[in-house]
Amino acid sequence: MALAAAAALTLAAAGCSSSSGQPSGAPSPTGEPTAQRASFDPPVRFDPAGVALPEQAAAGKVSLGGLLMDDLALSVQDLTGYLTTEAGLQIVDLVSGKAGDLHSPTAPVVPASSNPSPLSAPALVRTGTTSLAVAAFVVTQPASGTTPEHRVVEVLAVDTATGEQAWQATLELPQWAQEEAAAAPVVKVLAASSTSSAAGEVGTSATEVPDGEVIVTVDGGFKQAITWGLIPEDGQQRWQHEGLLQATRIGDVVLGNQANDQDNGLLSALNVADGTLRWQAPAGTSLVSASAVSPTLAGVNVNDYASGENVFQVLNAGTGTVTDTIPTGRTGITLACHDDGAGTGVCGTNAGAAASAVIAYDGSAGTRLWNLPQDGSPRVAPALSTAWHGAVYGTTTNGPVVLDAKTGADREVSPGAAPVLVNDRVGVAVDSEGSVSAYTPIG
């Protein structure tokens, strides 16, 4: 399989969001009634006249040139958006684009000075019959009595059926997070199919609401991180783990880079249920980034400490068994994956790569289905935005395009938008002016 030579990426094998009803407590649409909006599963064409969402959706995430720099801090359930801002968890009506209720932490949020913004999307979590949008913030608790001013993590859970706050939890941060710095450490609530932003980090499309624990992670870099498992019903702490950086949740494990004193850390997997170690990679194998290929498979970019070489691997998140390996050398190329929720995972090169590449995997076996570019074909690989229910969304120099997830064939060459978040009734994309907008599916 060939890629453009500039990509310097040798693809050599080494042996290898369903929708719920409109939440009654969410802001009522001021445009078309939600009941009249048609459902397309998956949508492949969108009305190009999008509705701009609040400016906070693009703040620190979209460059002046209109390029998406990092995952949106937005999750989507049906026609409602849940946006993490420095003021709190903002509910957004995706039909009108208007902001609704704002759920703010009890203490001031430590402002983010870095670019792109470290704010991350709320996780959509189901507990029994209740669906929650859960966001976390590093806040500054004021001094009181003998206790000085200090930083903590405040976690807010909102019931998506009522729009009301379900619970609030406060998590104590270690001393390393108390240092006066230009920016707060990065805090995330990890969604069960965590890559980017429709249920959790650039943009996953999964809008399914997963069962299970609420996983909160704070990453301070330089071998400093802390992860908690919370009970979803009330936010009570179940477990705590130190030193897991780059944490990403894939099904019932949390993958990350466990800090150590010997090298750059070690690719490791923790059990979601209790935070205990499930498995670790061989010594010297450190994690650069991870994303979901499927509920059981992860796409990981790893580094070998001894050689300095990087590789991309698809592996079973529960066991560490590798099904595919692609050497990437020292090029800086990484791949990010999107679980389409229908048995296929699609992975694409990062925006900084000299040329795009897209590879599709069987979500059960972890074997390749197709790839672009391809030997003997003039077709180019799109810059991947997301995948959902058999459709792959992306952009080429010819504009937005939709591919078939199983075959890689062009499915729609004039889709009207290239969403980074999508379900059967709405797509969210960055428009040509750099705003984040919601688009109505029309086919």
**C-alpha–C-alpha distance, residues 259 and 243, integer Å:** 5
More confident position, 200 or 302: 302
Query: Where does the pLDDT of residue 181 fall: very low under 50, low under 70, confident under 90, or very high at 90 and above?
Result: low
Does residue 374 carry a pLDDT above 60?
A: yes
* pLDDT at site 322: 97
Does residue 212 carry a pLDDT above 80?
A: no
Does residue 215 carry a pLDDT above 60?
A: yes
* pLDDT at site 395: 93
**C-alpha–C-alpha distance, residues 219 and 225, integer Å:** 4
- The DSSP secondary structure of 350-396, one letter per residue, reads -TTSSS--EEEEETTT--EEEEES-TT------EEEEEETTEEEEEE
Boundaries of domain holding 94 = 5-439
Residue 48, domain CATH: 2.130.10
Does residue 13 carry a pLDDT above 70?
A: no
More confident position, 316 or 354: 316
The residue to which tokens 């624990």 are assigned: 213
More confident position, 126 or 230: 230
Query: Where does the pLDDT of residue 18 fall: very low under 50, low under 70, confident under 90, or very high at 90 and above?
Result: very low
Q: What is the mean pLDDT of the chain?
A: 86
- The pair of three-digit structure tokens given for residue 162, joined into one six-digit string: 């009522």
* pLDDT at site 112: 73
The strand pairing partners of 337, in sequence order, are: 347
Average pLDDT value for residue range 43-64: 93
* pLDDT at site 377: 92
In the chain, the number of structural domains is: 1
* pLDDT at site 355: 72
The strand pairing partners of 159, in sequence order, are: 132
Handedness of CA 110, 114, 117, 119 (dihedral sign): negative
Does residue 31 carry a pLDDT above 80?
A: no
Query: Where does the pLDDT of residue 223 fall: very low under 50, low under 70, confident under 90, or very high at 90 and above?
Result: confident
